[in-house]
Amino acid sequence: MMNLTLPQQRERYLASGDDRELPIIDAHMHLWDPRQNYHPWLCDEPMIPFRYGDYAAIRRPFLPHHYRALTGEHKVYGVVYMEAEWDPRDPLGEIAWLHHLAEETRWPNAVIGQAWLDREDIDHLLAQLSSSPLVRGVRHKPAALPRADYYPGHQLKGSMNCPIWQQGYQKLAQHHLLFELQTPWWHLPDAASLLTRFPDVKMVINHAGLPGDRDPQTLAGWHDALRQLAAIPDVTIKISGLGLPSRSWCIEDNQQLIRQTIELFGPERCMFASNFPVDSLVTRLDALFDALKAITADYSPPDRLKMFCDNAARIYRLDTKL
């Protein structure tokens, strides 16, 4: 329990500029209990191919008290739950479980639900999701091509270019739900086209557009794709999920691309997030927040407050009484 309210903590940080006083709202994290609930990727054998490699260590419960125990001295005031690939046959079961969790623990403070946009009952599902006081949007990872096979104008079934998928996507606006996009960086031009065609749907890019490896040619392509998206004013982005397989998260690997993302979108459209417990495979939670603070040490206190706290509070409409 924090000694100060979030507004009070904000003022204390702005007055002091002390990193230790910077309030945090984690804009992208997960909670789960595979003992009680079915997440295919966490419960089934064999394990799926995963971008961080072996993920056996996270196939166990991760609940609010587990997260809080990892924060160290950081002042985490709230968390935004990201759908965790719960049983796709029962996306509303995930929301019911989270409501129960929030009543018991006060977390999560906002939820991004699962909604496969090309499912036949998408109208009904979006209506049910939007009726939840916690739900702010949905995520559906669109189908993607391997990098070598990608070409503009493809019509891959289940992708952002798929007409049936687009029919579901455009319905989000009428339900006042934003869309969280997780896709490989070479598919970001599809997202730019989608935003131009359906400007009423608000989009949040997950994991800095998934730059992947740190090969200079890869990063050049990622930067160019991200630049196209950044030119669209309403797009926001979460800086998270930047680990590399079989390698600990470090400033040397990530400082340049984090600062480039901020330069492209500006502090007013960037949010820092942990992606825990997934990123516990590559770092500690307190060490991650330490690193993000170090990387942004030369930004002004108001700009840092936007990226660590205020943007998430605004975008996900969090209760100001936190």
- Report CA dihedral (62, 68, 74, 80) to the nearest 10 degrees: 60
Residue 254 has pLDDT above 90, yes or no: yes
Region 18-40: mean pLDDT is 98
- At 107-155, the pLDDT tens digits run 999 999 999 999 999 999 999 999 999 999 999 999 999 999 999 999 9
Residue pair 152/158 in contact (Cβ under 8 Å)? The answer is no
Beta bridge mates, 129: none
The CATH number corresponding to 6-315 among 3.40.1370.10, 3.20.20.140, 2.50.20.10, 3.40.50.10860 equals: 3.20.20.140
Region 66-70: mean pLDDT is 99
Q: What is the pTM of this model?
A: 0.97
Q: β-strand 236-239 against 135-139: which pairing, if any?
A: unpaired
